[in-house]
């Protein structure tokens, strides 16, 4: 069955035109459109976005015209709100800040409210069309609050998000007012997958999560309240074959020859950008001017074609830029040009695909030097279109594409001398060297094309969606109990791994009061009397306490989340971690500060861990204190020496060499068990559940919360009753 994917972007990539009384829906070209087209054969696509056409035109259109292959849902936004959301929050705060232009931002509260409102409008539009099992894929910085609104009840929806622009250093994210910033970050964590173009953007995003939300990630995943988000880089690409084969299109070839004939004496440098301050056009002009000034021999023999595309003209910064660029071009042409030759050919217009390809393939050099750019598809398109393997790409090291197109001449676009040298190198480069570099880059792009990009992203979305779905709570039913009971009765070698606090005993204000009562003791004794059973208590507690309470029983004990272990009947405890925790002094000092300042909180120190308990703290700001403490710990943990566990009213720091998962793996290696039951209530128990995935493994989470355990029981009493029920059973063989 075809999967339904709802693509969401600020604008729909369609416009309606009326020709000879008939309507036509015309699709704009662009990276995202090609990507979506590439997956539209196997998936049913619906595209949601703001319309570029009027509502009455749309009404008329749908009455008279068959719907296009890709279904579209246009949103008609109120012009005033749309202006505050688009020109305001999106393009006067997020765009400049994310492209490292903090001084161009304008932190206006009305912008933020409009952004919230429009993101909510998108959310309700999606909620009104979505069906079970549909996938929602949101695109770009205009819609960063949307995942959070989709996740809200009723009809909570998981989505995924891709950012097309850079994600900057957390020091820039810090500049956004705290409430806005945190709402954006928290919203993105409602996604199954958050994707960026490069590893650096991923790094910056994770750093922001650490710094502002006090959250720690494991590799490329982060789990919050039982929901996992994958954070990864997916460098967007182009339809390689489309650009490569266009070289031979007769119209392209004709136009290419025309350009070459016209400027036959000159080396042609081509550049194409949307008119935007992030594109570095002024610096580029300065470098070109310096080249002409210092190399008189090039005058008359070199030409820069600059094509700019109109953009965001309503925003002052853009209009100003246009004036500066045009004045600069006139000045350079006036200074160095003559009747026969102008050094710069300037166009302020949209080129047809054939014209664009003619420029890409006629030029000697493509000059792509943005000051910052998420990816930059122009660079990739230029390379792909050079079927002749000639031409040279000069590329800014601050474009995402620089991570992949390593055979380009990479430059710092702020360094005018370096850009001048790169242009000189490029125009002098020998054909065989051009061919070598082009071939290397084409090889990369041929494999890493836009189809692969979309496929990889969608694959990850499906996997994480499944992982999250499996994590929902599943309260144990009568049938589930029967299934476990039958498996128990049919088995001969059983392993029962039980957490202690919150699983076998309820929580107490003071941890030392959670002494096992007679019911628990009798149950454990009785379970171990059955020769088919091996019982292990695996707890975050220290070894002395476990020894004191259970040392005399015939059960194995694992303390400090599996860092220390003692087998039943054995006197000695084994340290499973050889490492002496060097981090303890600095963590202790910090924990002491918090326990002194926050009345009711206290420290518990173990051999490999320090726990800060706050279960009796009444201060309403406790969540804020916990986040601050966690942030400070992350800061201390630069060398990745320890794990920070946000447990049940406890924040625990422990050595990261072992956890309950690694402990469980080890104990499974010791014997061939045919029945394993594991029960726990805490986040630390999830590691154990994760390891136990076979059909004879039964994992139970205490509490109705999302988990990767197979079942949930409501409370300690349910656990004890269930274990008592198992214990009463006779083994089938002994009957």
Q: Which residues are catalytic?
A: 499
- Which DSSP string do the residues of 262-296 spell out, in sequence order? HTTTSEEEEEEEES-GGG-HHHHHHHHHHHHHH-G
- Helix, strand, or coil here: 16? strand
- Closer Cβ to ligand GDG, 29 or 152, answer by number: 29
Closer residue to ligand GDG in complex, CB, 192/404? 404
Burial of 250 (0-12, 13-18, 19+ CB in 10 A): exposed
- Map the footprint of ligand GDG across residues 164-183, applying CB under 6 A: 164-165
Intra-chain end-to-end CA distance of the chain, in Å: 50
- In this chain, which of 236, 281, 445, 559 binds ligand GDG, going by CB under 6 A? 236
CB atoms within 10 A of CB 189: 21
Name the residue nearer to ligand GDG (CB basis): 28 or 694. Answer: 28
Residue 50 parent element (H or E): strand 43-50
91/707 with CB nearer ligand GDG: 91
Closest CA to 197 of 377, 30, 345: 377
Instruction: Give yes or no for a cis peptide into 154 (omega within 30° of 0).
Output: yes
310 binds ligand GDG (CB under 6 A): no
Instruction: Work out which of 57, 282, 351, 646 binds ligand GDG, going by CB under 6 A.
Output: 351
Residue from 67, 148, 166 nearest 375 by CA: 166
Q: How far is the CB of 499 from ligand GDG (least distance, A)?
A: 46
Pair of tokens at residue 333: 């042409």
Please state, in angstroms and rounded to a whole number, the distance separating the CA atoms of residues 700 and 721.
14
CB atoms within 10 A of CB 463: 13
Q: What are phi and psi of 134, to 5 degrees?
A: -70, 155
Least distance between ligand GDG and beta carbon 379 (Å)? 8
DSSP conformation class of 67: P
Closer to ligand GDG at the Cβ: 216 or 307? 307
CB of 186 to ligand GDG, least distance (A): 24
Residue placing its CB nearer to ligand GDG in the complex, 251 or 528: 251
Nearest to 733 by CA among 536, 534, 530: 530
| CB of residue 239 to ligand GDG, shortest distance in Å | 10
Residue 675's DSSP bridge partners are 494
When the beta carbons of 115 and 196 are compared against ligand GDG, the nearer one is 196
Q: What is the spatial distance between Cα 209 and Cα 201, in angstroms, rounded to a whole number?
A: 12
Binding piece for ligand GDG, criterion CB under 6 A, among 2-10, 123-131, 297-305, 375-383: 375-383
Choices 25-33, 61-69, 334-342, 605-613 (CB under 6 A): range interacting with ligand GDG? 25-33
Tokens of 725: 């029920």
Q: In terms of CB distance, is 371 or 464 closer to ligand GDG?
A: 371
Tokens standing for residue 235: 């460098």
CA distance 688 to 480: 20
Among 356, 458, 523, 709, binds ligand GDG (CB under 6 A): 356
Q: Does residue 7 bind ligand GDG (CB under 6 A)?
A: no
| Cis geometry, peptide bond prior to residue 226 (ω within 30 degrees of 0) | no
**Minimum CB–partner distance for residue 578 and ligand GDG (Å):** 48
Window of 26-34, 184-192, 209-217, 647-655 that interacts with ligand GDG by CB under 6 A? 26-34
Question: For residues 454 and 123, what is the distance between their CA atoms, to the nearest angstrom?
Answer: 23
Q: Decide whether 309 or 424 has the Cβ nearer to ligand GDG.
A: 309
CA atoms of 472 and 440, how far apart (whole Å): 47
Among 174, 254, 274, 548, binds ligand GDG (CB under 6 A): 274
- Sign of the dihedral defined by the CA atoms of residues 228, 233, 238, 244, in that order: negative
Nearer to ligand GDG, 336 or 360 (CB): 360
734: Cβ–Cβ under 8 A, 6 or more apart, which residues? none
Assess 377 for contact with ligand GDG (CB under 6 A). yes
Q: Of these, 173, 378, 476, 558, which contacts ligand GDG (CB under 6 A)? A: 378
* Binder among 309, 568, 603, 634 for ligand GDG (CB under 6 A): 309
CA 254 – CA 355 distance, rounded (Å):
10
Told to check if 35 binds ligand GDG by CB under 6 A, we report no
Measured CA to CA, the distance from residue 242 to residue 177 in angstroms comes to 44
Q: Does 305 bind ligand GDG (CB under 6 A)?
A: no
Q: Considering CB under 6 A, how many residues would be counted as binding ligand GDG?
A: 20
**If binding is defined by CB under 6 A, does position 373 make contact with ligand GDG?**
yes
Residue closer to ligand GDG (CB basis): 274 or 621? 274
Q: Which of 376, 659, 678, 712: binder of ligand GDG (CB under 6 A)?
A: 376
Whole-number minimum distance, CB 380 to ligand GDG, in Å?
Answer: 8
Where does residue 140 fall: left (phi above 0), alpha (psi -120 to 50 degrees), or beta otherwise? left
Residue from 211, 202, 138 nearest 181 by CA: 211
* Biggest CA-to-CA distance, the chain: 109
Q: Which of 150, 272, 402, 484 binds ligand GDG (CB under 6 A)?
A: 272
Among 53, 353, 532, 602, which residue interacts with ligand GDG (rule: CB under 6 A)?
353
* Contact indicator for 402, 431 with CB cutoff of 8 Å: no
Q: Counting contacts by CB under 6 A, is residue 374 touching ligand GDG? A: yes
Region near ligand GDG per CB under 6 A, out of 368-376, 560-568, 589-597, 612-620: 368-376
Q: Which helix (H) or strand (E) holds 209?
A: helix 199-213
Q: How far is the CB of 368 from ligand GDG (least distance, A)?
A: 9
Interacting span for ligand GDG (CB under 6 A) from 3-11, 24-32, 76-84, 518-526: 24-32
What Rg do the C-alpha atoms of the chain give, in angstroms? 32
- Min. distance of Cβ 440 from ligand GDG in angstroms? 21
Tell me: does residue 31 bind ligand GDG (CB under 6 A). yes
Minimum CB distance to ligand GDG smaller for 321 or for 471: 321
In the three-class reduction of DSSP (H, G, I as helix; E, B as strand; rest coil), residue 196 is classed as strand
Task: Of 642, 644, 727, 650, give the one whose Cα is nearest residue 681.
Answer: 650
The count of C-alpha atoms lying within 13 angstroms of the C-alpha of 443, restricted to the half-sphere facing its C-beta, is 8
CB of 725 vs ligand GDG, minimal distance in Å: 57
> Taking contact as CB under 6 A, which single stretch among the options 259-267, 367-375, 469-477, 699-707 is the one that binds ligand GDG?
367-375
| Region of 127-135, 377-385, 485-493, 509-517 interacting with ligand GDG (CB under 6 A) | 377-385
- The single-letter DSSP state of residue 364 is S
Q: Which one of residues 82, 289, 381, 687 is an interface residue with ligand GDG (CB under 6 A)? A: 381
Question: Interface with ligand GDG includes 350 (CB under 6 A)?
Answer: yes
Q: Which two tokens stand for residue 15?
A: 């416009």
Taking the least distance from each CB to ligand GDG, the nearer of 272 and 692 is: 272
**Binding residues among 497-536 for ligand GDG as defined by CB under 6 A:** none
Tell me the pairing of strands 711-713 and 642-646: unpaired
CA–CA dist 53, 49 (Å, integer): 12
Distance of closest approach, residue 502 Cβ to ligand GDG, in angstroms: 46
Is 418 a binder of ligand GDG (CB under 6 A)?
Answer: no
Q: How many CB atoms lie within 10 A of CB 575?
A: 15
Q: What is the closest distance, in whole angstroms, from the C-beta atom of residue 453 to ligand GDG in the complex?
A: 10
Query: Rounded distance, CA 301 to CA 297, Å?
Result: 8
For ligand GDG, which stretch binds (CB under 6 A), given 111-119, 348-356, 389-397, 589-597? 348-356
- CA gap 665, 691 in Å, rounded: 7
* Interface segment toward ligand GDG; rule CB under 6 A; list 28-36, 186-194, 557-565, 718-726: 28-36
In the complex, the residues that contact ligand GDG under the rule CB under 6 A are 29-31, 164-165, 236, 272, 274, 309, 350-351, 353, 356, 373-378, 381
């Amino acid at each position: 069955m075809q999967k339904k994917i709802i693509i969401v972007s600020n604008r729909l990539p369609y416009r309606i035109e009326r020709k000879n009384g008939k309507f036509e829906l015309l699709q704009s070209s662009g990276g995202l459109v090609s990507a979506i087209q590439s997956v539209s054969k196997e998936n049913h696509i619906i595209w949601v976005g703001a319309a570029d056409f009027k509502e009455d035109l749309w009404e008329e259109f749908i009455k008279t015209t068959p719907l296009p292959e890709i279904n579209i849902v246009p949103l008609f936004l109120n012009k005033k709100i749309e202006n505050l959301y688009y020109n305001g929050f999106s393009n006067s705060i997020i765009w400049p800040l994310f492209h490292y232009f903090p001084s161009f931002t304008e932190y206006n509260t009305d912008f933020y409210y409009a952004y919230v409102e429009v993101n909510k409008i998108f959310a309700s539009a999606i909620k009104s069309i979505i069906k079970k099992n549909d996938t929602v894929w949101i695109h770009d910085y205009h819609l960063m609050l949307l995942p959070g609104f989709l996740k809200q009840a009723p009809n909570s929806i998981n989505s995924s998000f891709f950012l097309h622009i850079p994600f900057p250093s957390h020091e820039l994210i810090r500049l956004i007012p705290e409430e806005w910033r945190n709402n954006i970050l928290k919203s993105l964590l409602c996604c199954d997958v958050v994707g960026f173009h490069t590893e650096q953007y991923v790094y910056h995003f994770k750093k922001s999560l650490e710094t502002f939300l006090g959250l720690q990630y494991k590799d490329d995943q982060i789990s919050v309240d039982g929901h996992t988000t994958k954070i990864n880089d997916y460098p967007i690409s182009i339809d390689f074959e489309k650009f490569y084969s266009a070289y031979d299109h007769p119209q392209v070839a004709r136009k290419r020859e025309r350009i070459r004939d016209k400027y036959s004496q000159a080396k042609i440098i081509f550049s194409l950008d949307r008119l935007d301050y992030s594109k570095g056009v002024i610096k580029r002009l300065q470098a070109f001017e310096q080249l002409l000034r210092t190399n008189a021999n090039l005058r008359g023999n070199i030409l820069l074609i600059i094509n700019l595309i109109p953009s965001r003209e309503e925003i002052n910064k853009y209009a100003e830029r246009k004036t500066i660029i045009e004045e600069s071009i006139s000045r350079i042409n006036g200074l160095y040009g003559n009747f026969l030759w102008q050094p710069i050919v300037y166009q302020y217009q949209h080129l047809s695909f054939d014209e664009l390809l003619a420029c890409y393939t006629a030029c000697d050099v493509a000059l792509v030097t943005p000051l910052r750019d998420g990816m930059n598809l122009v660079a990739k398109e230029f390379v792909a279109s050079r079927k002749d393997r000639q031409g040279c790409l000069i590329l800014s090291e601050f474009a995402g594409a620089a991570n992949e197109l390593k055979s380009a001449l990479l430059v710092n676009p702020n360094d005018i001398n370096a850009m001048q040298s790169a242009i000189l190198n490029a125009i002098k480069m020998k054909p065989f060297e051009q061919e070598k570099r082009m071939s290397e880059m084409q090889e990369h792009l041929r494999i890493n094309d836009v189809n692969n990009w979309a496929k990889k992203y969608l694959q990850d979305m499906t996997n994480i969606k499944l992982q999250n779905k499996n994590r929902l709570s599943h309260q144990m039913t009568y049938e589930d109990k029967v299934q476990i009971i039958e498996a128990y009765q049919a088995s001969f070698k059983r392993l029962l791994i039980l957490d202690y606090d919150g699983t076998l005993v309820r929580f107490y204000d003071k941890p030392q009061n959670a002494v096992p009562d007679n019911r628990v003791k009798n149950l454990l004794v009785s379970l171990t009397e059955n020769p088919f059973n091996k019982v292990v208590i695996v707890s975050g507690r220290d070894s002395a306490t476990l020894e004191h309470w259970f040392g005399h029983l015939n059960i194995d004990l694992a303390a400090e989340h599996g860092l220390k272990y003692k087998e039943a009947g054995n006197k000695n405890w084994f340290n499973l971690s050889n490492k002496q925790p060097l981090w303890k002094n600095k963590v202790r000092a910090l924990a002491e500060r918090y326990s002194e300042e926050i009345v009711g909180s206290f420290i518990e120190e173990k051999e490999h861990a320090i726990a800060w308990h706050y279960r009796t703290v009444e201060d309403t700001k406790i969540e804020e204190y916990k986040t601050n403490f966690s942030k400070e710990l992350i800061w201390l943990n630069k060398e990745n020496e320890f794990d920070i566990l946000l447990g049940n009213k406890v924040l625990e720091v422990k050595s990261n060499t072992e956890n309950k998962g690694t402990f469980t793996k080890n104990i499974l290696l010791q014997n061939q068990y045919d029945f394993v039951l594991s029960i726990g209530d805490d986040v630390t128990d999830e590691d154990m559940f994760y390891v136990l995935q076979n059909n004879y493994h039964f994992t139970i989470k205490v509490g109705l919360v999302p988990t990767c355990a197979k079942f949930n029981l409501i409370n300690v009493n349910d656990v004890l009753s269930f274990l008592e029920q198992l214990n009463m059973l006779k083994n089938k063989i002994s009957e």
